[in-house]
Amino acid sequence: MSDHDPRAEELACVDAQEREFLRASESVRPEDRARLERLDHAVREAVHGGARRRRSIVSIAAPVLAAAAVLAGVVLFPRERPPDEPVLRGDAGAALRVESVVTEEDGRRVARFEWPVRDGADAYAVLVLDRDRATVARLEVGAGNRAGWEVPAALPVGELMCVVIAYREGREVERSAVQPLGEPPR
Domain 99-180 has CATH 2.60.40.10: yes
pTM of the model: 0.49
pLDDT tens track for 85-142? 444 433 444 468 888 899 888 888 999 999 999 888 999 999 999 989 999 999 999 8
Of 31, 30, 28, 10, nearest to 20 by C-alpha is 28
**Separation between Cα atoms, residue 100 and residue 116, nearest integer Å:** 12
The predicted structure's pLDDT at residue 96? 82
Contact 100, 185 (CB under 8 A): no
Helix pair angle (6-24, 30-76), 10° resolution: 160
Query: Mind giving me the DSSP string for 74-130?
Result: HHHSPPPPPTTS----S-TTSSS--EEEEEEETTEEEEEEE----TT--EEEEEEE-
pLDDT tens track for 51-91? 555 556 666 776 777 777 666 665 666 655 555 444 443 34
Maximum pairwise Cα distance, the chain: 104
pLDDT tens track for 142-159? 888 999 999 998 888 889
Amino acid 109 reads: R
